[in-house]
């Protein structure tokens, strides 16, 4: 991977985030909320509201407000929350860390289970193992998140009482209790991801095993294990990397239901609270942080492509 390509991708990420910032800022401007009223309350006097609007630059043209906000973002200042009166950046980044922790554990568990299941289903195509993996995958895809989460809570928390049903404990305070609180949300998200990825691995591996270069490898006398793991699996995993990169975006913004059920204070839940409270700086910061994380995840996926398949060269 050439330095020119890396620089080009970084510039493209910057351009993408600039467009996202424009869209996010434009959307928050049309929300039915007055920042001055949100901060001072509905009983504030007109003079106090006018003074705060002048201080915050709310009377300036929209383009000037955007440039002022963008300059703050570039300095790392994402504004002050209208709901709490505290800086937005530390709260959102802390919530992002919790969501990334959930994503890391969920993706790790998903890869550890989905890839072997996909391999077994592909190697034993049409047999009982393949049919069993396919059935479980369809069930996992068809069940909504809240149904999967509810079933897991009923079985592991209510009936067996092995794990706490809700709550969050930072791993830095108590690693054992923190891990116990993460098990149920991780299982919920992982089951959903496993259903998607195992089918993807199975489908791609079946196609690769019937390709010409795999037949040539077999004719050379290579063992089944060498053909499968050294040649077929590396190429079959390329589309899986795309799915994993897309799942990062899903895990950051699409597991709000899971975070709500298990009372996990991640960035998705923080964003919902901000929308309900019309907290414009928090909405802007949350959306921009999620877009940045998603863009970086896709960039890392491209790097993983080149690592798995040496034929892929980025110039």
Tokens of 7: 């620089």
43 vs 7, higher pLDDT: 7
User: Does residue 77 lie within any of the structural domains?
Assistant: no
Tell me the pLDDT tens digit for each residue of 53-112: 776 666 778 888 888 888 888 888 888 887 777 888 888 888 888 888 888 898 889 889
Distance CA 90, CA 78 (A): 9
Q: What distance, in Å, lies between the first and last C-alpha atoms of the chain?
A: 7
Closest CA to 163 of 182, 146, 191: 182
> pLDDT averaged over the chain?
81
Helix (H, G, I), strand (E, B) or coil at 76: coil
User: Does residue 113 lie within any of the structural domains?
Assistant: yes
Q: Which of 19-33, 180-194, 199-213 has the lowest mean pLDDT?
A: 19-33
Q: Are 196 and 243 in contact (CB under 8 A)?
A: yes
Helix (H) or strand (E) holding 189: helix 175-209
State mean pLDDT over 281-301. 84
Is the pLDDT assigned to residue 204 strictly greater than 60? yes
Tell me the pLDDT tens digit for each residue of 154-178: 888 888 888 888 888 888 888 888 8
The region that residue 207 occupies, defined by phi over 0 for left and psi between -120 and 50 for alpha, beta otherwise, is alpha
User: Does residue 212 lie within any of the structural domains?
Assistant: yes
How far from 105 is each of 171, 177, 193, 262, CA to CA, in Å?
13, 15, 12, 16
Angle (nearest 5°) at CA 195 between 176 and 250: 70
Q: Which domain range does residue 132 map to?
A: 88-308
User: Does residue 43 lie within any of the structural domains?
Assistant: no
Please give the pLDDT value at position 230.
Answer: 78
For helices 238-253 and 175-209, the axis angle rounded to 10 degrees is 140
Burial degree of 206 (CB within 10 A; 0-12, 13-18, 19+): middle
Domain of 99: which CATH number? 1.10.3720.10
Total-model pTM: 0.79
Is the pLDDT assigned to residue 36 strictly greater than 70? no
User: Does residue 249 lie within any of the structural domains?
Assistant: yes
Is the pLDDT assigned to residue 305 strictly greater than 60? yes
Helix (H, G, I), strand (E, B) or coil at 87: strand
Tokens of 171: 């791993």
Number of independent structural domains in the chain:
1
Please give the pLDDT value at position 38.
Answer: 66
Q: What is the largest CA-CA distance in the chain?
A: 86
Q: Which of 51-65, 125-139, 147-161, 193-207 has the lowest mean pLDDT?
A: 51-65
User: Does residue 70 lie within any of the structural domains?
Assistant: no
User: pLDDT band at 29, cuts 50/70/90?
Assistant: confident
User: Does residue 1 lie within any of the structural domains?
Assistant: no
User: Does residue 119 lie within any of the structural domains?
Assistant: yes
């Amino acid at each position: 991977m050439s330095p020119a390509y890396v620089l080009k991708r970084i510039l493209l990420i910057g351009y993408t985030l600039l467009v996202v910032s424009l869209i996010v800022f434009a959307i928050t401007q049309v929300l039915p909320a007055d920042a001055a009223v949100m901060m001072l309350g509905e009983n504030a006097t007109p003079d106090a509201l006018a003074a705060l609007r002048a201080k915050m630059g709310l009377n300036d043209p929209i383009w000037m407000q955007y440039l002022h906000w963008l300059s703050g973002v570039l300095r790392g200042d994402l504004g002050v929350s209208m709901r709490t009166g505290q800086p937005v950046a530390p709260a959102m980044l802390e919530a992002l860390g919790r969501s990334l922790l959930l994503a890391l554990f969920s993706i790790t568990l998903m890869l550890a289970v989905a890839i072997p299941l996909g391999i077994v289903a592909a190697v034993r195509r049409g047999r009982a193992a393949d049919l069993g993996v396919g059935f479980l995958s369809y069930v996992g895809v068809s069940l909504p998140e809240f149904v999967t989460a509810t079933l897991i809570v009923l079985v592991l928390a209510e009936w067996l009482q092995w794990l706490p049903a809700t709550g969050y404990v930072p791993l830095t305070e108590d690693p054992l209790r923190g891990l116990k609180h993460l098990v149920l949300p991780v299982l919920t998200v992982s089951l959903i991801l496993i259903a998607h990825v195992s089918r993807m691995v199975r489908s791609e591996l079946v196609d690769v095993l019937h390709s010409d270069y795999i037949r040539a490898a077999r004719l050379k006398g290579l063992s089944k294990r060498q053909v499968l793991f050294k040649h077929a699996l590396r190429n079959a995993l390329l589309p899986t990397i795309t799915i994993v990169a897309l799942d990062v975006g899903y895990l950051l913004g699409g597991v709000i239901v899971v975070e709500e059920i298990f009372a996990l204070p991640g960035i998705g839940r923080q964003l919902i609270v901000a929308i309900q409270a019309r907290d414009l700086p928090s909405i802007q910061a949350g959306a921009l942080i999620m877009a940045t994380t998603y863009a970086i995840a896709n960039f890392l996926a491209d790097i993983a492509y080149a690592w798995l398949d040496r034929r892929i060269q980025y110039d």
